[in-house]
Amino acid sequence: MEIVSRIDAARIALDALIERSTRIVAFTGAGISTECGVPDFRSKNSPWQRLKPIDFDIFISDVLQREEAWRRKFALDDIYGHVQPGRGHWALANLVASNKVVGIITQNIDNLHQASGVAAEHIVELHGNGAYATCLDCGKRHELGPIRRDFMATGAAPICGDCGGIVKTATISFGQSLPEAAIQRAYEMATGCDLFLAIGSSLVVYPAAAFPTIARQHGARLVIVNDEKTPLDDVADIVLRGDIGDIFEPFAA
């Protein structure tokens, strides 16, 4: 495993890897969105460290915790709801447009890959999406606008008008299983690519963090782009140690 930590050398290495690859898959974590103003989860001063996540089974069983979860959701939307894509998102969008990147597997729920113009069919959201809600019983999609209006008026957690089921943001909480279809598509992408770029993830949350190794085992070159060490650095062919936006900037124009 080679570690490249000078920004100019990292850019040259990335350019050469992209040049010689034809089926690139990007795997993104919270680190690609920090320059957009969305804090990541495990950096020292992350606000997410202060809020213990509400487990899925608590969300289901405890209506007070469910109301708390919605209060947090709207409070965080007020802070982070209007963020724009960063240089990493724009670079990947350009690489998708030039047919170099054939898929993006993301752990992020911030919808920023879509906001940078990448079509949904190129994106696998392992941890869902926070831009809308769904009914946990019938699966109906519910928009956040009306939910927020009713919640601010009554303080009551939303229920599905069609079936009376519990409505939850379309994100995957701790204790909630990942969508089977997303796992399957991510597996197909990881096993079918020749270059797997793991960008801005601490690579500690499974099953998501299994995909870089799966890609490597199926013959892809594995590159980790991150500003700190990860448990998979030794599995990677190359580690680009530095700021994601700086490293990807030449592709973001």
Residue ranges that bind ligand APR, judged by CB under 6 A: 29-31, 34-35, 40-43, 107, 127, 200-202, 205, 226-228, 243-245
Distance of alpha carbon 143 from alpha carbon 185, whole angstroms = 25
C-beta of residue 211 within 8 angstroms of C-beta of residue 186: yes
Residue among 113, 122, 127, 142 flagged as catalytic: 127
Residue 135 binding: pick among Zn ion, ligand APR, none (C-beta 5-8 Å cut-off by kind): Zn ion
Give whichever of 160 and 197 is closer to Zn ion, judged by the CB atom: 160
Rounded CA-CA distance 245/36 in Å is 10
Instruction: Kindly tell me which of 109 and 160 has the beta carbon lying closer to ligand APR.
Output: 109
Minimum gap (Å) between residue 22 Cβ and ligand APR: 26
| Alpha-carbon dihedral sign for residues 20, 191, 118, 197 | negative
Note whether 135 binds Zn ion by CB under 5 A.
yes
Partner whose footprint covers residue 138, from ligand APR, Zn ion, none (CB < 5 to 8 Å by kind): Zn ion
Closest CA relative to residue 26, chosen from 84, 85, 102? 102
Taking the C-alpha atoms of residue 129 and residue 73, their distance in angstroms, rounded to an integer, is 12
| Binding partner selected for residue 210 from ligand APR, Zn ion, none, CB under the kind-specific 5 to 8 Å limit | none
- Measured from the CB atom, the residue of 23 and 140 that comes closer to Zn ion is 140
* Binds 218: which of Zn ion, ligand APR, none (CB < 5-8 Å by kind): none
User: Which one, 93 or 160, has the nearer CB to ligand APR?
Assistant: 93
Residues 145-174 binding Zn ion (CB under 5 A) are 160, 162-163, 165
CB of 229 vs ligand APR, minimal distance in Å = 8
Known catalytic membership, residue 127: yes
Q: Which amino acid does the sequence have at 252?
A: A
In the complex, minimum distance from the CB of residue 47 to ligand APR, in angstroms, rounded to a whole number:
11
Of 108 and 169, the one with the shorter C-beta distance to Zn ion is 169
Interface positions with Zn ion (CB under 5 A): 135, 137-138, 140, 160, 162-163, 165
Q: Which residues are catalytic?
A: 127
